[in-house]
Amino acid sequence: MSVPLLLSVSELKSQLGGPVVVDGSWHMPAAGRDPVKEFKENGHIPGARFFDIEDIKDKTSSLPHMMPTASQFAEQVGELGISNDDHVVVYDTVGFNSAARTYWMLKAFGHKKVSLLNGGFKAWTAAGYPVEKGEANVTPKKYEVPTLDQNSIRYYDQVLKIVKDKDNKITIIDARPAARFTGASPEPRAGLSSGHMPGAKNVPFLELSDMETGELYNDQQLAAAFKRAGIDVQELRETTEPGKEVILSCGSGVTASALYFALEKLGVKDLAVFDGSWTEYASRPESIIVKDQ
C-alpha cells in the first residue's frame, strides 16, 4: 500500500497511533539550538521519537552527518522502534527543513512508506493538538539491513567529474541562500570559500515553504521557484533522454534533501543528493569554484 508524500496535521491526528512519527529536527550550530533538548523540554507529537542525524551518520567521517553504512542505519533505526514495513511520518520544528533529510535517508535505504508532515511541529501546535514532553517511550524492533540505492546519492569524485565535463546534461541545483551561492557572503563554516560549482543553478530552500506556517508551497508555487532559477520542472519530468539526472546540493546535504522532496512531489525522477555537498566540495583543493562578479 502506498502512502502520501505529504500528510497534513489533521490527517496525522486522525491516524495517531498508527504511523511511526519521528522528529528529524536539526539546526545550524550558529543557531544555538539543541533539538534533542527541545524534543524533551518543549515537547513533541505524542508517540514521536527523535531521529538524530548527528548520531545516525558515518562516525568515521570528519564531514557533518554523512550517510551511515546500511548495517549501522538498520541498527539505529531499529532502536527507534521502526521496522522495514512501518509507515514513518517525519517532521521538524521549523516546518520544512531538516525533516527532508531524514525522509531522504529512509527513501535512499529503500524504506517504502515515508511521509513528510506538512508544517511540522509548528503546524501541529498551531492547530491546538496535544503535545508530549520527556523521553520517547520506544520498544526497539528488528530492522532488516537494507541496500543503499546508489542512484539516489552522489559522492565528491562523481560530482567533480560532472562539473569538469562541459558537455554533461546533468542539472545541479544548490539550495544555499543566494548570497552564499554567488560568493557575495561568506560560508558559515570557517575556512570554506563561498561561491558555486560551474553550471549549477540556485534555488534557495527558503523559497519552497511559508516560513510563518512552516507549510510547503503548492505545486504551482514550487514549480515557479525552480522556473526563476531557469529550471523547467515539466521538462525534467517528461524527459526520457539518458543522462538527464538532477543532483541536489547545499551546505551539508540537509536542505538539498528539501529540494529532493519538492522535486519528487512535482513528479521529477532521477534525483540524487550530493551527500558531502558544499562543505566537502569547497574543502577540496581540486574543486572548481565560481563566484559571480
Contact (Cβ atoms closer than 8 angstroms) between residue 98 and residue 117: no
Give all strands of the β-sheet with 153-154 in edge-to-edge order. 153-154, 271-274, 246-249, 171-174, 201-202
Contact (Cβ atoms closer than 8 angstroms) between residue 250 and residue 256: yes
- Residue 190 CA to residue 177 CA, distance in Å, equals 17
Q: Give me the count of residues in the chain.
A: 293
Q: Helices 255-265 & 219-228, crossing angle to 10 degrees?
A: 120
Beta-carbon contacts of residue 165 (< 8 Å; ≥ 6 apart): none
Residue 252 has which C-alpha cell?
Answer: 551539508
What are the distances in angstroms from CA 257 to CA 138, 254, 274? 27, 5, 9
- Residue 79 CA to residue 47 CA, distance in Å, equals 14
Contact (Cβ atoms closer than 8 angstroms) between residue 11 and residue 72: no
Which residues are known catalytic residues? 250
26 CB-side CA count, 13 A = 23
SS3 for 111?
A: coil
